[in-house]
Chains A and B, each alone.
Chain A
Amino acid sequence: MADEPKPSQEPESTPPEPKGASPASPPKNDATPAAPPAAKPVAAAPKFPLPVQMPLDNDLVRRYREHFGAAILDALEDRKQPYLVIDSARLSDIARYSRDEEKFDLLEDFTAVDWPRREKRFDLIAILYSFPHNTRLRLKIPVAANEQPGTLSELWPTANWLEREIFDLFGIEFAGHPGLKRILLPDGWQGHPLRKDYDILQQDTAWVRENLGIDSGQ
């Protein structure tokens, strides 16, 4: 499935806007296990001698890999918070497995991040919480702009509005969602504001003029 090697490898490899020209620290290459202490305070302030992302390989990840093999594209830990990069095609399977077998029963949040220069433009981020184990797990699902990932709202009804919000602000459509329509912005609005190519001053001038009767909402 992994149609491109490491889309996951992280943000830094494709810093989006002009500003972040220097790709900072090459992410995961030096896998110093001594990293955790670096997460401790003080000295760390302005400079970060140690990388904060590391590959993760614990029981949980192993179980996931066992079940889904190549669909688990990567498993990382960022500032001691684990996340799995998974293939969007297996999203609902993995989600169901997480909920039913691994007892991540709460979909705490579901959102997206836009990486316009990457081949798979968006990352869907599902933050799962397990009441029995009191742990969190992030699922990161790279999806392409024209891709339609499966909905999670059958597993967690809470994903209903969250997916609508993602659709509204990013324009990612979810297959099988009951009633996918804009939620925060008006129905007829053009554009998806949280995409990086949507400028902060941009607005749907035509809509504003027509519906509010003013020239500009600024």
Chain B
Amino acid sequence: MQQDASQKDTLLGADELVLNMGPQHPSTHGVLRVKLKLDGERVRGTECVIGYLHRGVEKIAENRTYQQFAPYVDRMDYVAAVSNGLGYCEAVEKLLSVEAPLRARVIRTILTELQRIASHLLWLGTHALDIGALTPLFYCMREREEILKIFEKYCGARLTTHAFRIGGLQYEAYDGFEKDVERFCKDFERRIQEYVTLLTGNSIWIGRTRNVGVLNAADCIALGASGPILRAAGVKWDLRKAQPYAAYDRYQFEIPVGTNGDTYDRYMVRMEEMRQSRLICLQAIENIPEGPIMGKVGKVLKPPPGEIYHSIEAPKGILGYYIVSDGTIQPYRVRIRPPSFINLQALDKMIRGHLVADVVAVIGTLDIVLGEVDR
């Protein structure tokens, strides 16, 4: 028996094959490098090598004023820049103990929800592409384009928008903003049906995603995985409901949850989240309150010494800002809790025992953005 085993080792090459995926690999969504230990095509372990995009955002923050730093956060999760900005602005506002006016908060909510849709669309397109469906990517990009056009009309930028200012908004909603959002939302209902037709019932899609990358609720919490990953595991928890910020307490929406916590559930959860975001937008444009858009904050921000932690439900999960002030115009320390970074840690747990082909499915379903992982 012993001899058998040893012979097999040498003859059949039972030693593990280490496959180096990335950093230039088409489906690691940026410059992620994953070292896969393979037994045949089965994954026995992974090691993520990250940091290729590390820019030291937290260090930069310590050398900029509060306002100067705001555009930098857009460069973390660059496909959801508006959400990043919302989190940062609200955190600093909390540190200053001011609150943005209601009108500003409502417009922030609309833009952030549009951004959530855009982020999920990008996720859906690339995820489907990873699994081999080419076409959804282009459909998703088509819709995302509409959202980016709205951003462009609103603040002149499409990707790294810097849409919000500490204390409120710099720009008033342009003429026809409501109409644009409404047209998009009306259209989007039909469009989302196209993705459903292409993917939801497709047996290959189900075969590729069901029971792949399962992460149950307990593991999610232990690993800190948040956002759609957590909800797909059946935890009905969303910071927008649990600790409402911006103007979320004014709107009705559902928290979609899954049961298995597999890739398919995460897909369903995100699809439903897009529909819910659309509903929030529709509710919000119905009645945007009149009033100022900028709260009373000074030109020079000198928050009193102390610290604050504020987190929001970004498209990818809990996005938290921990800011320490020493009473000067520059933050003493800004810590960003990046959802992608922490979700990525679940990769190893999710992928063990699956096949190489599932690695891309699982990386896709984690919905990571390397700019945020590496900061």
Report if A138 contacts B (CB, 8 A).
yes
B54 touches A161 (CB 8 A): no
Report if A34 contacts B (CB, 8 A).
no
Report if A79 contacts B (CB, 8 A).
yes
B327 touches A20 (CB 8 A): yes
A194 touches B304 (CB 8 A): no
Report if B293 contacts A (CB, 8 A).
no
Report if B188 contacts A (CB, 8 A).
no
1/0 contact string of B275-299 vs chain A (CB within 8 Å):
0000000000000000000011110
**Bound complex: CA of A183 vs CA of B54, how far in Å?**
10
Report if A212 contacts B (CB, 8 A).
no
Which residues of A in the span 18-43 have a Cβ within 8 Å of any Cβ on B?
19-20, 22, 24-25, 27, 38-43
Q: Which residues of B contact A182 (CB under 8 A)?
A: 51
B320 touches A161 (CB 8 A): no
B308 touches A161 (CB 8 A): no
Partner of B308, one of A11, A79, A134: A79
* Majority-rule SS of A interface residues: loop
Which residues of A in the span 54-107 have a Cβ within 8 Å of any Cβ on B?
78-79, 81, 105-107
A52 touches B335 (CB 8 A): no
A183 touches B50 (CB 8 A): yes
| Chain A residue with the shortest CB-CB distance to B318 | A108
Question: With A41-B295, A134-B242, A161-B341 as given contacts, are A186 and B51 in contact (CB-CB < 8 Å)?
Answer: yes
A111 touches B342 (CB 8 A): no
Question: With A20-B326, A45-B96, A108-B318 as given contacts, are A157 and B345 in contact (CB-CB < 8 Å)?
Answer: yes
Tally of A-B Cβ pairs under 8 angstroms: 148
Q: Which residues of A contact B309 (CB under 8 A)?
A: 81, 109, 127, 136, 138
Question: With A16-B332, A45-B96 as given contacts, are A193 and B56 in contact (CB-CB < 8 Å)?
Answer: yes
| Chain B residue with the shortest CB-CB distance to A10 | B305
**Bound complex: CA of A80 vs CA of B54, how far in Å?**
33
B306 touches A78 (CB 8 A): yes
Report if B222 contacts A (CB, 8 A).
yes
Partner of A38, one of B97, B221, B311, B337: B97
Closest beta carbon of chain B to A194's beta carbon, Å:
6
Q: Which residues of A contact B77 (CB under 8 A)?
A: none
1/0 contact string of A175-215 vs chain B (CB within 8 Å):
00000001111100000011000101000000000000000
Q: Which residues of A contact B332 (CB under 8 A)?
A: 11, 16, 20, 113
B307 touches A106 (CB 8 A): no
Report if B24 contacts A (CB, 8 A).
no
Report if A15 contacts B (CB, 8 A).
yes
B56 touches A160 (CB 8 A): no
**Bound complex: CA of A39 vs CA of B306, how far in Å?**
13
Which residues of B in the span 300-334 have a Cβ within 8 Å of any Cβ on A?
300, 302, 304-309, 311, 318, 320, 322, 324, 326-328, 330, 332-333
1/0 contact string of B211-223 vs chain A (CB within 8 Å):
0000000000111
Interface size on B, residues (CB 8 A): 55
Q: Which residues of B contact A19 (CB under 8 A)?
A: 328, 330
| Chain B residue with the shortest CB-CB distance to A202 | B59
B222 touches A156 (CB 8 A): yes
Closest beta carbon of chain A to B6's beta carbon, Å:
30
B235 touches A131 (CB 8 A): yes
| Chain A residue with the shortest CB-CB distance to B242 | A134
B59 touches A193 (CB 8 A): yes
Which residues of A in the span 127-144 have a Cβ within 8 Å of any Cβ on B?
127, 131, 134, 136, 138
Report if A158 contacts B (CB, 8 A).
yes
Closest beta carbon of chain A to B51's beta carbon, Å:
4
B326 touches A24 (CB 8 A): yes
Partner of B342, one of A11, A38, A162, A169: A162
A106 touches B99 (CB 8 A): no
Partner of A161, one of B96, B296, B327, B342: B342
Q: Which residues of B contact A24 (CB under 8 A)?
A: 304-305, 326-327
Report if B128 contacts A (CB, 8 A).
no
Report if B357 contacts A (CB, 8 A).
no
| Chain A residue with the shortest CB-CB distance to B243 | A134
Q: Which residues of B contact A27 (CB under 8 A)?
A: 305
Q: List 7 A-B contacts (CB under 8 A).
A: A12-B327, A24-B327, A42-B98, A79-B306, A105-B221, A106-B221, A161-B345
List 15 extra interface pairs beyond A15-B326, A20-B328, A24-B327, CB under 8 A: A11-B305, A11-B307, A19-B330, A25-B305, A42-B98, A43-B296, A45-B297, A48-B304, A52-B305, A125-B335, A138-B309, A157-B349, A160-B345, A162-B342, A183-B50
